[in-house]
Structure 1
Amino acid sequence: MRKILYHGSDVILKKPLYGVGKEDNDYGSGFYTTEDIEKAREWAWVNGSDKSAVCNQYSIDLDGLNVLNLDEHGTLAWIAEVTNHRGASDEFTQAVADKLVEMYKIDTSKADVIIGYRADDSYMNVVKSFLRNQLSVDEVDRMFRNGNLGQQVFIKSEKAFDRICFEDYENVSMNKDSHYGEADAKARREVGKFLHNREYAIQIDGFKPAGLTVKDVISTQYEYNKEYGCYLQEERANERNEFEIDDR
C-alpha cells in the first residue's frame, strides 16, 4: 500500500536522513509527516523563515513494514508514548508519568512507522493536567481530537526511511495575512481557558472529573477494548474475552 505524505519545513528536503532529530519529540528521533496537506502547509508557515516555507511531498510503500497505529491501543498508550519521550514538567508529574509508562506503554521497538496524535508544546498542558488528576482519559482524547492538531505519520526505522520517495514540493506564502496558524491559535486559547477553569473548579469548588482519571488507571490495571473503544479493568476484560470464547 502506497501513501502520499507531506512535511512542512523551511527547506526543500529531498532525502530525509535516518538517525537525526531530537529524541524528546513526540515519538522520539525520526521523520514526522502527515497525510493532510493543509496541516503540512500550516506547519511550514509556522516553522518557516521570513524567506522560505516549503511543503514537501513524499510517497512511501508500506507493504512489509510494521505500522503501529496508536489509536488502536487507546489514549493511555498515546500518553505513555509521548511522556516517555517528552518527559513531564515537575518531579511529581514525572513520577506519575513513569508509572503510566510502566503500565501502558506499547512496545515500539519493532515498529517501522507510528501513527498517532500530534502534541505541540501548548497541548502538552493537557497531558500535564491529566497527570495531575484534573482531567479524565476521555477528556484528553476529546481535546486532542477537537483541537484538530492532526495525525502524524512518524517514520521511525531505517527500513522505512529507505522507502521514502521525494515527489514534489510547493512554496507556502509567508504573507502575514495568511489564515495559517489561526485555527491552532484559537484552539490553544480555548484549551488554556478550559484548563484554567478546571483547575479553579477543583481547587476552589472541590470538583471531581467524571470518568477514569490517572489516579484510577495507575492504581488498577486497565485494558483497552478496541471493539467498544473503552477501557475495562483487566479482570473484567479477561472475563469478557472468556465469555466471547465460550459464546462461540
Structure 2
Amino acid sequence: MILYHGSPNKIVVPTFGLGEERHDYGKGFYLTADLNLAKEWAVCRPESESGFVHSFELDTDGLEIFDFEKENILCWLSELMKHRAAADSKRYRVLAEKFIAKYGRDTSYADVIKGWRANASYFYIAKAFVRDEVDIDILEELMQLGGLGIQWCLKSEKAYAHLKNLDEIIPVDYHEFNAKYNERDSKARINMMALIDSDKNNVEKVFSTLV
C-alpha cells in the first residue's frame, strides 16, 4: 500500500529506534494513506515556511498490525495516555493509571499500529474529558468532529524492513496547507464546544466514574 509522510524536512530517512516517545503511539515512523492530510501535517507547525510529502510503499504481508479502529474509543484514549498527558494534576496521574489498566491493550507485540491521529483538537477534548465535563456517550461523536485522520506507525525493525522509499518528494506550500490545517482545527473546536454544551451531554458517565 502507498503511504505518505508529511515533514518540514526535504530529506527523511526512516530509522528504527528514532522518534519521540511523547507522540501518539510512542517512538516510530508515522505515515498516512491520505495525501491531503500528509500535506497539512507537513506544515502544521507555526514556524514552518515550507514542507514536503515523502511517498513510501509498505508491504503489510506478514506484519502484526494493531488496528485501533477495531477497538472502542476508550482503548484508544488509554494508549494516548501512555505517551501524552492531558493534565498535570496528581488527580489525573492517579486516575490515568487506573484508566490505562482497565481499558488499555498490550500493543508491544505489534509491528505496526494503525489508529487516529491526535491533533490539537484532541487535546481540547482530552482536557474536557479528564475534567469530567464529557459523557462517554458523546465521546466518539466528538472525536469524529475532529477529523483526526488515520495514521500508521511503524514500531518494529521488521516493519521498517517492509517499507520502501519511492523517492517521490512533493513540495507543500505553507500558506495554502497551513491555512487548511488551522481551518480544520478551528471548525472542529467550534463543533465540539457546541456538542459538549448540548443536551446530548448528560455528564453522568465521565472519566472519574469509569475507573
- Fold match (TM-score > 0.5): yes
User: In the TM superposition, what is the alpha-carbon distance from 1:146 to its structure 2 partner?
Assistant: 1.9
In structure 2, the partner of 1:209 is 203
Alpha-carbon spacing, 1:14–1:88, altered in 2? closer, same or farther (3 Å): closer
Alpha-carbon spacing, 1:127–1:12, altered in 2? closer, same or farther (3 Å): same
Give matches, 1:1-248, under 5 Å.
3-47=1-45, 49-50=48-49, 52-89=50-87, 90-167=89-166, 168-175=168-175, 179-181=179-181, 182-192=183-193, 197=197, 208-209=202-203, 212-218=205-211
Q: Which residue identity does 2:137 align to in structure 1?
A: D
User: In the TM superposition, what is the alpha-carbon distance from 1:57 to its structure 2 partner?
Assistant: 1.0
Ranges in structure 2 where 5+ consecutive residues have no aligned partner: none
Alpha-carbon spacing, 1:175–1:135, altered in 2? closer, same or farther (3 Å): closer
Q: Percent identity?
A: 33
Ranges in structure 1 where 5+ consecutive residues have no aligned partner: 202-206, 219-248
Alpha-carbon spacing, 1:177–1:141, altered in 2? closer, same or farther (3 Å): closer
User: In the TM superposition, what is the alpha-carbon distance from 1:189 to its structure 2 partner?
Assistant: 4.0
Does structure 2 conserve the Cα–Cα contact (< 8 Å) formed by 1:45 and 1:180? no
Report the number of matched residues: 206
Does structure 2 conserve the Cα–Cα contact (< 8 Å) formed by 1:127 and 1:140? no
Partner of 2:174: helix, strand, or coil? coil
Choose 1 or 2 for highest CA Rg. Answer: 1
User: In the TM superposition, what is the alpha-carbon distance from 1:177 to its structure 2 partner?
Assistant: 8.6
Partner of 2:169: helix, strand, or coil? strand
- Larger displacement relative to structure 2 (93-102 or 56-65): 93-102
User: In the TM superposition, what is the alpha-carbon distance from 1:132 to its structure 2 partner?
Assistant: 2.6
Q: Which residue identity does 1:96 align to in structure 2?
A: L
Q: Highest relative contact order (Cα 8 Å, sep 6+), 1 or 2?
A: 2
Deviations 1:10-41 (Å, cap 9, x if unpaired)?
12344211111111111101111111111001
Partners of 1:125 and 1:151 lie apart in 2 by: 19
Does structure 2 conserve the Cα–Cα contact (< 8 Å) formed by 1:75 and 1:137? no
User: TM-score, structure 2 length as denominator?
Assistant: 0.87
Does structure 1 conserve the Cα–Cα contact (< 8 Å) formed by 2:63 and 2:111? yes
Alpha-carbon spacing, 1:154–1:208, altered in 2? closer, same or farther (3 Å): same
Alpha-carbon spacing, 1:15–1:177, altered in 2? closer, same or farther (3 Å): closer
Partners of 1:86 and 1:174 lie apart in 2 by: 27
RMSD between superposed Cα atoms in Å:
2.3
